[in-house]
Amino acid sequence: MRNMRRLAAIGVLSVVMVAGLGTTPGMAQSRAHVYLLRGLMNIFSLGMDTLAEKIQHRGIYATVHNYSEWQTLADHAAAAYHAGTEGPIIIIGHSLGTDAVMEMSAYLGRKGVPVALAVPFDGTQSFATPSNVARVLNLTHADYGRVYRGAGFHGSISNVDVSSDRNIDHLNIDKSARLHAQVIGAIVAVVGNGNGNQKPGPAANDHRAPRSAATPDSGNDGATKPGDSKRIPAKPADGATNSRDAVKPLADGGTPVITGPEKSGSAGAASSTR
């Protein structure tokens, strides 16, 4: 009888120890993180704050920062990724924040960290995409804000030119509800709807990775070094998919629908949040 009690006590202790080990920080579940980067002076890109709220409403972790913090953020993201607590990583930015998106992506590549999705909103210059990025959805209002393939890049790029919509300009492109919905569709395609239903982002160089309709396949490699987000002059085409259409938000199924420009009323409301 005494031996049976002893065995029962040992069994209970074993269950407690296993349960404790299962909740240690080192075994924490990886969480998707969307980094949103504002532009100049932290006051002209408040559409990033609105977009972050919409992403969080989907149950996906999102944080907003000034573009100048990108290297500190990248160091944190790299440490968390290698610890197994963060990923997939998604980076979104507006204006100078867009430039920081590409710089941060390249920096993470040098640290061996993949970026599942990069979303530039109207950058101030053109960039070649580093090889660690899986998908780019570039929303631009000007020809100089194009994104092209860097050497070793095997992901997909979509350059969406919204310059035909007279109600969208550089100062309010980040506030467009229509473009926000398109971005959220691309994010959900990568990580799901949150609440533990997150999908792992495919490796940037995995040719078998599924292609999202928001990021069609791109063409030939560029001439920049692998992992380098080198600034390059704009060119008519460099293998990336370019569109001058106003694109309606992607449904969760991933099918884009062509639509007309936004109405003046919605654009004016967006501008008033600056």
Task: Examine residue 16 and state whether it is found in any structural domain, yes or no.
Answer: no
How many domains does the structure of the chain reveal? 1
- pLDDT single digits (tens) 156-168: 999 999 988 888 8
pLDDT exceeds cutoff 50 at 121: yes
Amino acid at position 51, single letter: L
Q: Bigger pLDDT: 271 or 37?
A: 37
Task: Examine residue 179 and state whether it is found in any structural domain, yes or no.
Answer: yes
Please compute the mean of the pLDDT values over residues 32-37 and round it to a whole number. 97
Please compute the mean of the pLDDT values over residues 252-267 and round it to a whole number. 35
Least confident of 9-18, 120-129, 141-150, 197-206: 197-206
CATH of the domain at 208: 3.40.50
Task: Examine residue 11 and state whether it is found in any structural domain, yes or no.
Answer: no
Least confident of 17-26, 137-146, 214-223: 214-223
Task: Examine residue 10 and state whether it is found in any structural domain, yes or no.
Answer: no
Residue 4: band (very low, low, confident or very high) from pLDDT cuts 50, 70, 90: low
Q: Bigger pLDDT: 27 or 197?
A: 27
Residue 194's pLDDT is 61
Task: Examine residue 22 and state whether it is found in any structural domain, yes or no.
Answer: no
- pLDDT single digits (tens) 51-98: 999 999 999 999 999 999 999 999 999 999 999 999 999 999 999 999
Residue 268's pLDDT is 36
For the record, the structure tokens of 105 come out as 């992506």
For the residues of 8-56, what is the DSSP string, one character each?
HHHHHHHHHHHHHHHTSGGGPPPEEEEEEEE-GGGTS-THHHHHHHHHH
Residue of 99, 140, 91 lying closest to 116 (CA atoms): 91
Task: Examine residue 34 and state whether it is found in any structural domain, yes or no.
Answer: yes
User: Is 0.85 topped by the overall pTM?
Assistant: no
Instruction: Tell me how far apart the alpha carbons of residues 28 and 22 are, in angstroms, rounded to a whole number.
Output: 8
Q: What is the residue whose two structure tokens read 């992901």?
A: 155
Domain of 245 in residue numbering reads as 29-271
For the record, the structure tokens of 180 come out as 């926000």
Task: Examine residue 17 and state whether it is found in any structural domain, yes or no.
Answer: no
Task: Examine residue 23 and state whether it is found in any structural domain, yes or no.
Answer: no
Residue 7's pLDDT is 52
Q: Bigger pLDDT: 151 or 244?
A: 151
* Mean pLDDT over the full length of the chain: 73
Instruction: Tell me how far apart the alpha carbons of residues 241 and 219 are, in angstroms, rounded to a whole number.
Output: 8
